[in-house]
Amino acid sequence: MPDSPSPSDQATAPLIEARNLVKTYTMGDQTVHALRGVSLGIAEGDFVAIMGASGSGKSTLMNILGCLDLPTSGEYRLAGEEVEGLAPDALASIRNRRIGFVFQQFNLLPRTSALENVELPMVYAGVKAAQRREKAQAALDRVGLGERGGHTPSELSGGQQQRVAIARALVNNPALILADEPTGALDSKTSEDIMTLLTELNRQGMTVVIVTHETDIAAWARRKLVFRDGQIVEDLRQPGHGGVTDGPAGSGKLESDPNLLAQGATP
């Protein structure tokens, strides 16, 4: 179908356009329906929290959005590029150019300095050593760890390690940050620091999608999606998040946006 975007569509160009994503895992005679037809649009510059019980399909969706995995069926476009038919190397290329990942367990190399950990995505992207160093330092500066580049992960606190991981996610200047339970291993004060940092990056224009099971953490996002049994069952706009407020929206102030739900329900 030809799309004829109106001027208002262009103002919030969709970064993510997913239609009818299905993911089925087969193990022996067991079939798991991890995603049962998920349709979702995420605009550039949005800040989205995905919630839902364990096993409801959140990570499966993040892996597909992150071009780490392909759906069994359905369509996915990232920044206008069709993803679903791509070969693994083309998928890796999109991933490197467009996406930064943040994980619950930080996934830093243990005996490697913070600076070198942040350089890693650029090693894969073939960036020269001097430029790698410069960009990695700039990314560490951006997360407030400019002075700690020489420290290994074991010499840093959990919150600092997650900042290093965020610097690593930022270093190729992606359009999208995908964070699967980024505060899951952190205490509440440190979690707030990390959410403040993600909010600041979002304010600078980065599209941010996080998975969390904590309502307090989800309240930092501008939009909240709730998963159940492989489907989106709620799609809520959280007021007071125009990119100019500090901190999370108060709980109980959620407001349903029927347009978003309608968009998500398009066959």
The contact pattern for Mg ion, residues 41-60, with x = CB under 5 A and - = no contact, is -----------------xx-
Residue closer to Mg ion, measured from CB, 50 or 83 = 50
Residue closer to ligand ADP, measured from CB, 32 or 233 = 32
**Should residue 56 be labelled a site residue for ligand ADP when binding is judged by CB under 6 A?**
yes
Out of 39, 59, 162, 202, name the contact with ligand ADP by CB under 6 A: 59
- Binding-site size, ligand ADP (CB under 6 A): 12
Residue closer to ligand ADP, measured from CB, 142 or 223 = 223
What CA–CA distance (Å, rounded) separates 147 from 158? 17
**Should residue 182 be labelled a site residue for ligand ADP when binding is judged by CB under 6 A?**
no
Binding to ligand ADP (CB under 6 A): which residues in 26-45?
Answer: 27, 32, 34
Q: How far lies 59's CA from each of 55, 76, 200, 248, in Å?
A: 9, 16, 24, 23
What does DSSP say about strands 207-211 and 47-52: parallel, antiparallel, or unpaired? Answer: parallel
Choices 54-62, 144-152, 163-171, 201-209 (CB under 6 A): range interacting with ligand ADP:
54-62
CB 86 within 8 A of CB 119: no
What CA–CA distance (Å, rounded) separates 82 from 92? 14
CB of 104 to ligand ADP, least distance (A): 11
Backbone angles phi, psi at 148, to 5 degrees: -110, 15
Out of 16, 17, 60, 122, name the contact with ligand ADP by CB under 6 A: 60
Residue closer to Mg ion, measured from CB, 61 or 208 = 61
Residue closer to Mg ion, measured from CB, 58 or 163 = 58
Residue 195 CB partners (closer than 8 Å, separation 6+): 183, 217, 220, 248
- Give start and end residues of each alpha helix (H) in the chain: 7-11, 58-65, 88-98, 114-124, 129-142, 158-170, 188-203, 215-218, 258-264
**Should residue 58 be labelled a site residue for ligand ADP when binding is judged by CB under 6 A?**
yes
Binding partner of residue 247 among Mg ion, ligand ADP, none, CB under 5 to 8 Å per kind? none
| Sign (positive or negative) of CA dihedral 220, 222, 224, 225 | negative
What does DSSP say about strands 73-78 and 47-52: parallel, antiparallel, or unpaired? Answer: unpaired
What does DSSP say about strands 223-228 and 231-237: parallel, antiparallel, or unpaired? Answer: antiparallel
**Should residue 54 be labelled a site residue for ligand ADP when binding is judged by CB under 6 A?**
yes
Out of 57, 71, 149, 174, name the contact with ligand ADP by CB under 6 A: 57
Binding site for ligand ADP (CB under 6 A): 25, 27, 32, 34, 52, 54-60
| Contacting positions for Mg ion (CB under 5 A) | 58-59
